[in-house]
Structure 1
Amino acid sequence: MEISIINKIRKRTDRFVESQLLKIGRVLDVRVWETGNIIEVDLHLPMANIKRWTRVPFIKFRVSELCFQDYTPFGWDDETGTCSILIDTSDSGAGSRWANSLRTGDQVYYLKIEHQAQPPHLTDMVVGLADASSLGYLLALQYLTLPGSRFDGAVLLDSPGAGQLFKDYFDSPVTILANYNEMADWLMMEGFCTTHTSFYLSGTHSLVKPLHKALKILGHTKIHIYESDLSL
């Protein structure tokens, strides 16, 4: 009985703290891709200082009670306070359930906006490597890399249809690959310069860890990592 009461008090306290800290946004549009378990969401975030997004941002959204998930916005506009996110719904987690529940006009809540420690390198070739959970990360990285000719990348998408939709929807040089072995082969064939190439890895731990190891074997040392399967 005492434990039950303590848990109730704790939940009420957490909800109160959460309500004081959360910022509010609004869903402008929701597009469910025909294939690939991807949901694209356009957002209005009037409380966000988008002018300061000079490094890849990560928005910590509340996806369920006392559960938060990071998503990377892309295509942002500081004048209108708008951006978009891409959500991989291939699993049955809280983030997927949240994404599937979103409708135009809904309010969304986020705790904070953080940024990758370093901006894209100013002179190196910038190469982004990711999986379906980090499509937005690649688009944000591309957006921040100027000139755009310095950007290249690859993404793992096990659905050919999703890969084609990505190419149809976005003007991006990112290569679509089906599995890790294809990505490893692609890296070897591209032969990126070890001195003047900076790599930015984002995705699940099962992709990021072996990729990091493979790049080190190839002699690369400029490797920046963000794992997408982290939640609070």
Structure 2
Amino acid sequence: MNIIKKKAIDMMERKLSRTGHVLEVRAWDPATFFEIDLHLPGLNMEKWQSVQHMKVKVGDYAYRDYTPAMWDAETHTCTLLVNSSHDGPGSKWASSLKKGDAILYLGVGSTLHKPVEDRSLLCLGDSSSIGHFLALQQLAKGKTEVYGAVSFSEVKHMEAFKEYFITALQPVLEKRWDISLLSWIDEQPLEDQCIYITGHIPTVTELRRHIRKREDFSGTIKAQGFWA
């Protein structure tokens, strides 16, 4: 990174960065997935109507987007759910956090994903999508059903997901050279469905292409890739 770009980022951080604090960190077994409870003083969560994303500083001149989930507007708290199985600054950041640490972020912004009233929401994604789908579920509570499937590479992570969260999302096991979510969606009716697909970008692309070829599909697809 050149000097000019570094200076621009330094200036942006000084003007826009906000501070939060880590309340608790829970590692799943194996420790390649983390629940990170945060206190974000001053952040107004009451008006959130769509899934949000936080641009979090994870290293020198390095930022990653994470979804605040399971938030409490009164206490200004939320949880980030981070898949750290892929090597990179975000994974190293998540695995190094401990209670009491300060975090820096450049604000919180809306995504295009939000509940659609009077239509159930079918969600498909890998474990990097958990926070996104749980946020969608929180927004949809009392309005419509959120269901679907989340793929995992670890059996123990599937078990933890079923134990820790109350959700209609079903965990499925990833198999090498196979997109397990394709098999799952082939068992579902797709007439007039509102489908949300997130996670690994090539998988998102393949799932969207596959669904659009289905003769019974007559709904909408809202896709968002997280990583390649």
Q: Same fold (TM over 0.5)?
A: yes
CA contact (8 A) 2:126 2:199 kept: yes
CA contact (8 A) 1:142 1:151 kept: yes
The structure with higher relative contact order (CA 8 Å, sep 6+) is: 1
SS at match of 1:174: strand
Tell me the residue number matched to 2:24. 29
Alpha-carbon distance in structure 2 between the residues aligned to 1:187 and 1:69:
30
Alpha-carbon distance in structure 1 between the residues aligned to 2:33 and 2:113:
28
SS at match of 2:207: helix
TM-score by length of 1: 0.89
Alpha-carbon distance in structure 2 between the residues aligned to 1:12 and 1:63:
18
CA contact (8 A) 1:142 1:148 kept: no
For residues 147-192 of structure 1, give each alpha carbon's deviation from its aligned partner in whole angstroms, at most 9, with x where no partner exists.
3762111011011100000111111111111235432222121213
Greater mean deviation of Cα atoms: 146-155 or 105-114? 146-155
Letter in 1 for 2:223: I
The question of 1:217 aligning with 2:213 is answered yes
Tell me the residue number matched to 2:200. 204
Q: RMSD in angstroms over aligned alpha carbons? A: 1.9
SS at match of 1:142: helix
Change in 2 beyond 3 A, CA 1:118/1:84: closer
CA contact (8 A) 1:36 1:159 kept: no
CA contact (8 A) 1:36 1:161 kept: no
Residue correspondence of structure 1 range 79-98 to structure 2 within 5 A: 79-98=74-93
Letter in 2 for 1:57: Q
Letter in 2 for 1:224: K
CA contact (8 A) 1:204 1:227 kept: yes
Residue correspondence of structure 1 range 117-132 to structure 2 within 5 A: 117-132=112-127
Letter in 1 for 2:189: G
Greater mean deviation of Cα atoms: 20-29 or 213-222? 213-222
Cα distance, 1:88 vs. partner?
Answer: 0.6
Alpha-carbon distance in structure 2 between the residues aligned to 1:216 and 1:226:
16
The question of 1:105 aligning with 2:100 is answered yes
Alpha-carbon distance in structure 2 between the residues aligned to 1:203 and 1:14:
27
Alpha-carbon distance in structure 2 between the residues aligned to 1:30 and 1:148:
31
Tell me the residue number matched to 2:109. 114
Equivalent pairs, count: 223
CA contact (8 A) 1:24 1:47 kept: no
The question of 1:187 aligning with 2:182 is answered no
For residues 49-80 of structure 1, give each alpha carbon's deviation from its aligned partner in whole angstroms, at most 9, with x where no partner exists.
11121111111111112221111111100000
Change in 2 beyond 3 A, CA 1:13/1:198: closer
Unaligned runs of 5+ in 2: none
Cα distance, 1:98 vs. partner?
Answer: 0.7
For residues 177-226 of structure 1, give each alpha carbon's deviation from its aligned partner in whole angstroms, at most 9, with x where no partner exists.
1235432222121213x22x211111010211001111111224411111
Change in 2 beyond 3 A, CA 1:215/1:18: same
Alpha-carbon distance in structure 2 between the residues aligned to 1:124 and 1:111:
34
Letter in 1 for 2:184: W
CA contact (8 A) 1:126 1:145 kept: no
Alpha-carbon distance in structure 2 between the residues aligned to 1:212 and 1:112:
30
Letter in 1 for 2:202: S
Alpha-carbon distance in structure 1 between the residues aligned to 2:196 and 2:8:
39
Cα distance, 1:35 vs. partner?
Answer: 2.4
User: Structure 1 or 2: larger helix share?
Assistant: 1
Alpha-carbon distance in structure 2 between the residues aligned to 1:188 and 1:36:
32
